[in-house]
Amino acid sequence: MDNAATMQRAYDLLNNGDVDGFGALLTDGFLEHDTMPGLTPTKDGVLELFRGYFASFPDFHMKVEEILPSGDKAVARVTATGTQDGEFMGLPPSGRSVSVQLIDIMHFDDAGMVCEHWGVADMLSLLQQVGAIPDGPPA
């Protein structure tokens, strides 16, 4: 199995707005380790998360900077961009463009399906960019 190619396909599907196609790459027992409040750490929870991103940032896009495969896992460094034209985490639309750095780790089963995910996103930068918190160091 080419886990790097599957990981790239996951981003390509999401970049085309195909959340269901992305979901077809996840096992039914998929486990999300980077949990979000109010969402289950399951396949359904992750699909709901991405639907929410597209509702908040209709032009949501993930540019893959690099993918590093290693055995049954792959790691990606990604830049996510979008314009907040919808409510996000209770924040009204700001109309502001954002650019956020992400690190994703996907674990693949023997059939090449994504069975687990770990991720880190620069949420502080995102919240600063939409104007939810002040930019710069604390006073």
Domain ranges of the chain: 3-129
Give pLDDT tens digits for 103-120. Answer: 999 999 999 999 999 999
d(CA 62, CA 68): 16
Selected from 3.10.450.50, 3.30.530.20, 2.102.10.10, 3.40.50.720, the CATH number assigned to the domain covering 3-129 reads 3.10.450.50
The pLDDT-based confidence of 38 (bands split at 50, 70, 90) is: confident
